[in-house]
């Protein structure tokens, strides 16, 4: 599947940005490896983020019974945002321990995480408004997902604003948000049929 291929390439590119350290004349290998902590931390966070998007992308598309051209183009936009993540990840890893450039690096990285959240919301909103979603789904469940995706975009916007003041706090917000999304997605709920509350 095309989408799975994009996820696989994006998640693989993350590790390519971490190079084997070259030792200075008075530097030990352990010191050089320790100096890679920003790159390794950024790699781990982005790997989890992309992995979670992959898992939830598969779950989300089970909610749609049909597609159209615009819906597919919006999904391409979402995948483009996913493929972009390795670049801000590399910038964060390179400049996180630079006091002068830390705010810019974290703001750029947070922007890189905001893009897929926003494009994900666009895919959902379009599919919902154009009745591509399974009509058997409980309207309350559909509204709950919409609220959840609005909240996601809002939290990344908050993290972006915070990054301009306290970059480590902004990173803590994104890490906490990522951990929250490691929970299984909400079980699908359908409208009652023959007196049943749920299929």
Domain presence at residue 197: no
Q: With contact defined as beta carbons under 8 Å apart, do 183 and 130 qualify? A: no
- Our count of domains for the chain comes to 1
Domain interval for residue 41: 2-16+36-180
Domain presence at residue 136: yes
For residue 89 the two structure tokens come to 């990840």
pLDDT of residue 34: 86
pLDDT of residue 194: 57
Q: Is the pLDDT of residue 192 over 80?
A: no
Domain presence at residue 47: yes
Domain presence at residue 191: no
pTM for this predicted structure: 0.87
Q: Is the pLDDT of residue 128 over 90?
A: yes
Domain presence at residue 195: no
Other beta carbons less than 10 A from residue 101's beta carbon: 14
Percent above pLDDT 70 for the chain: 96
Domain presence at residue 186: no
For residue 163 the two structure tokens come to 């990054």
Domain presence at residue 53: yes
Domain presence at residue 153: yes
């Amino acid at each position: 599947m095309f989408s799975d291929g994009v996820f696989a390439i994006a998640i693989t590119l993350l590790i390519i940005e971490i190079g084997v350290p070259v030792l200075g004349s008075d530097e030990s290998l352990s010191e050089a490896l320790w100096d890679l902590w920003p790159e390794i931390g950024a790699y781990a966070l982005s790997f989890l983020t992309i992995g979670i998007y992959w898992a939830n992308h598969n779950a989300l598309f089970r909610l749609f019974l049909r597609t159209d051209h615009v819906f597919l183009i919006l999904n391409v936009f979402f995948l483009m945002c996913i493929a972009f993540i390795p670049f801000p990840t590399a910038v964060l890893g390179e400049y996180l321990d630079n006091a002068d450039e830390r705010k810019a690096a974290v703001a750029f990285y947070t922007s890189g995480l905001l893009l897929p959240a926003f494009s994900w919301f666009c895919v959902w909103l379009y599919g919902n408004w154009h009745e591509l979603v399974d009509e058997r789904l409980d309207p309350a469940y559909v509204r709950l997902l919409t609220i959840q995706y609005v909240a996601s975009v809002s939290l990344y916007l908050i993290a972006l604003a915070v990054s301009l003041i306290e970059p480590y706090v902004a990173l803590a917000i994104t890490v906490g948000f990522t951990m929250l999304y490691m929970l299984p997605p909400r079980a699908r709920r359908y409208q009652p049929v023959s007196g049943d509350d749920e299929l």
